[in-house]
Chain A
Amino acid sequence: DQQVKQNSPSLSVQEGRISILNCDYTNSMFDYFLWYKKYPAEGPTFLISISSIKDKNEDGRFTVFLNKSAKHLSLHIVPSQPGDSAVYFCAASRQNFVFGPGTRLSVLP
């Protein structure tokens, strides 16, 4: 059973435009959500997080939105840059992390 889903395996965006990565979860007990970015042959790097008591968190070009009623969160990157090209993992936490399968973002110059 996939508790955290990222239904888009890949996404291509033009440089300078907005990238929107989506994540859905099934367990309403999750109380913290995170986004990680991963380059090939490297470990995931923490990007941004949000507590379940909030609906938005912003850090520079990255904004995470949480819709608890829909059990949905999204990561917005604006403006997108070629260096943002990576695999993005959504993770949800209650006691331990449950990761989604990832979305491969390609930002085209």
Chain B
Amino acid sequence: NAGVMQNPRHLVRRRGQEARLRCSPMKGHSHVYWYRQLPEEGLKFMVYLQKENIIDESGMPKERFSAEFPKEGPSILRIQQVVRGDSAAYFCASSPGTATYEQYFGPGTRLTVT
């Protein structure tokens, strides 16, 4: 199965801790997108990355959130000093390039902050 992989699927953190969410794109895909879905809401764009580059982070909160997509390894979404309002499902999607509009989503990571 060469689909988009995300881990962990479920993550529980206490307020003030750090959360690290991982995303491995589909084979051959070099573009990664992160979305957040709050309860009863649609998916909200957070950040768009290519290998070693952040292309668009206009949806990222200015503080505590960061993302990277290193040359080797998965893309990481990092949330420092989590608060209850960070509890959400975080989805990663990948695409082969800007020439295609279809993004393929992973199963998501459900973050719960206690």
**Residue ranges of A at the interface with B (Cβ–Cβ < 8 Å):** 4, 6, 32, 34, 36, 41-46, 49, 89, 93, 95-102
Neighbour of B43 across the interface among A49, A89, A95, CB < 8 A: A89
Q: In whole angstroms, how far apart are the Cα atoms of A101 and B40 in the complex? A: 8
B69 at the interface (CB under 8 A from A): no
State whether B45 touches A98 (Cβ < 8 A): yes
Known: A43-B4, A46-B102. A99 touches B44 (CB 8 A): yes
Q: B106 — which chain A residues lie within 8 A by C-beta? A: 43
Distance between B100 CB and nearest chain A CB, rounded to angstroms:
10
Of the A-B pairs whose beta carbons lie under 8 Å apart in the complex, a sample of 27, sorted by A's number, is: A4-B42, A36-B105, A41-B107, A41-B108, A42-B107, A42-B108, A43-B91, A43-B93, A43-B107, A43-B108, A44-B91, A45-B105, A49-B101, A89-B42, A89-B43, A96-B45, A96-B48, A96-B56, A96-B59, A97-B43, A99-B35, A99-B42, A99-B43, A99-B45, A100-B42, A101-B42, A102-B42
Q: In whole angstroms, how far apart are the Cα atoms of A36 and B33 in the complex? A: 16
Identify whether the interface residues of A are mostly helix, strand, loop, or mixed.
Answer: strand
Distance between B36 CB and nearest chain A CB, rounded to angstroms:
11
Q: A99 — which chain B residues lie within 8 A by C-beta? A: 35, 42-45
Q: List the 6 closest A-B pairs by CB distance, nearest first.
A: A43-B105, A99-B42, A101-B42, A99-B43, A44-B105, A32-B101
